[in-house]
Amino acid sequence: MPKPDFPRSILAFQEWFVDEQACLDYLFESRWPEGFTCPRCGGRDAYPIATRRLWQCVECRYQVSVTAGTVMHKTRLSLRLWFWAAYLMATGTPGMSARQLQRQLALSRYDTAWTMLRKLRRAMVAPDRGLLSGEVEVDEFEIGGVEKGRSGGRSAIAKASTGIIAVEVRGTGSGRIRIELIDDATAATLSGFIERTVAAGAIVHTDGWQGYAKLASKGYVHRPRSQAKAKRDGDIDPVLPRAHRAISNFKSWLRGTHRGVSAEHLQVYLDEFIFRYNRRRTPMAAFQTLLGLSSHHPPSTRAEIVAEGPAAAKRG
C-alpha cells in the first residue's frame, strides 16, 4: 500500500492539517501505510497516547513514537509548526531564511526558526541517492571574490570557498546536479568527487584543466574542452554551459535569499540548492521528504548542528 498523498496547493494544505490530531494521523499513515505493526512483537493492534505522540502495542505494550526517524524527533514544538515549516520550505521557489520563517510562523525566538531550518536542510540529503549517469558536465567554481593584484588561472581567486559541480546533460537542458565544497583542484580531489557522484561509464565533459586528465583510466569517457583554445579557434558554442548556468543560479539564489552565509555551514546551503534544483518540477512532493517521511535520518540535536563544520558537512 503506498504512503499517503501530499497536498497539491496551499488551500489543500490548510484543509488537511487543521490541527495537531490531523498531523498525527498523517504521520501514522506515513509510518504504517498498511496498518500498525509493532517493531518488537509484530502485533497489529495499538492505541494512541496522543499527549506523548506515541502508539502502544496491545500485545506487548511496547510504545512507538510516531515522530521517530523524522526531523520532528523529540521535538517540543507543535507538529503544525513543523508541517508548515516543511511546506513553506519545499514550495517557496527562492527558499526561506530563518528570519522569514520566524515571521511567517510567529515564532518568538530567531534561534528556534534557525534550528528548524537546519534540521529540514539535513533531511534534504538522501542517504541512498543515485549516481548521475549518461553525459555529465563537471566544473569547479569559486564562492568568493577576485584577489587584487593577481591575474590569470585558478590561482587568481581569493579562495574563500571552492566548489565543484556535476550536471547531467538532458538535451539542451539539465538533469540532476551534485555540488560539494573541495579543498583544492588536484587530480585526487576532482577524481574523488566524480567517482562519488557519477556512474562509471558515463561521458564526462570538463574544461582542459590537467586535474581531470586521469578520468579515462577510472572508467569514464572523458571529453575535455579547453576554453582558451575554443576562444582562439572562434568556437561560439559555450564550454560547459549547463554547469555554468547552474553555478550562476546558485550564486544568485544565495545572494538573494540568504545574503550572508558562514563558510562552516556553506555545504548545507549547497545541499539545499541541490534539493531545490533537482525537484524544481515537483516542489509539492518535496514536502514529505523534508519531514523525513520518505527516508529515515539519524536524529539531529541543535548541538550537533552547531558543531558541524566543513569537513563533517561534505557528502560522501
The type of residue at 302 is R
Mark residue 164 as left, alpha or beta (left: phi above 0; alpha: psi -120 to 50; beta: remaining).
Answer: beta
Q: What pTM was computed for the model?
A: 0.79
From the list 210, 175, 169, 215, the residue with the least C-alpha distance to 193 is 215
Pairing verdict, β 46-49 and 135-142: unpaired
Averaged pLDDT in 10-residue chunks for the chain of 316 residues: 80 95 91 92 92 91 91 92 93 84 96 92 82 97 60 45 96 95 95 97 96 96 86 77 96 78 80 90 82 62 58 39
Edge-to-edge, what's the strand order for the sheet holding 63-65?
46-49, 54-57, 63-65
- What is the grid cell recorded at 242? 549547463
From the list 165, 190, 183, 160, the residue with the least C-alpha distance to 274 is 165
Give pLDDT, residue 150. Answer: 42
Give pLDDT, residue 291. Answer: 85
